[in-house]
Structure 1
Amino acid sequence: MARDQFIKRNPLCIGCLAAFNDPVPTEVVDHVEPHKGDTAKFWNSELWQASCDWHHKTVKAQLEALYAQGRAKLADLWLNSPRAIKLSLLLKRQG
């Protein structure tokens, strides 16, 4: 129910809009900060973002790996952050 309400209010992937100016429908409600089972983090809707499947599986996965290694900041995990936009453009070019 919370997922459906969020998608209704945020129907487009913020990564696709930011990087490509392309209105792609939201498929995933992504937790910006990996919650790792922490229910407070899981339900913190201030840190939810609208994502397409590609951004979630490709861009966000790489950003989260960097974050886990201490090589990215929490702010970088937003799909409309400068770092995420740069990575999106690079990955799209690579096919």
Structure 2
Amino acid sequence: MPVRAPRICSCGGVVPSGARCPCQIKRAAERKARFDKTRPNSSQRGYNREWQNARAAFLRLHPYCTACGARAALVDHKTPHRGDQRLFWDKTNWAALCTPCHSGAKQRLERRLMKDQTQ
């Protein structure tokens, strides 16, 4: 099977196919750190003790992931609430998900939807 040739990074370094240059990794980490400084913490976003209790009760009633059927660990908001407390507490907007489904497929879908909305 053919292998793609290495590429030249903007910093001038040679990067193997499929890899990221250390300078790109560093820039991405710095960008994420800048974003995290401006983002409210979880309590400020509504994920407090009241949410923890509601989440635990929901997971007792819905113990399996709605996407794959594995044991659910998280309660996801199907429609992102973006600070809207009515939508945040709307139980019809909640879905039980396992960590891989929430951290992988669901996040990719939300990023794609955000990208489509900005275009």
TM-score strictly above 0.5: yes
- Bigger share in helix: 1
- Percent of aligned pairs sharing the same letter: 34
Give 2:67's aligned amino acid.
Answer: G
Superposed CA deviations along residues 46-84 of structure 1, whole A, max 9, x for unmatched, are: 01001000000100000101111237xxxxxxxxxxxxx
Look up the match of 2:105: 59
Note the C-alpha offset of 1:34. Answer: 0.7
Gaps of 5+ in 1: 18-23, 72-95
SS at match of 1:14: coil
Note the C-alpha offset of 1:37. Answer: 1.3
SS at match of 2:68: helix
Look up the match of 2:12: none
Look up the match of 2:74: 28
Aligned length: 65
SS at match of 1:16: coil
Give 2:66's aligned amino acid.
Answer: I
Q: Distance in 2 between matches of 1:70 and 1:31?
A: 19
Bigger Rg, which one: 2
The runs of at least 4 aligned residues of structure 1 exceeding 6 Å deviation read none
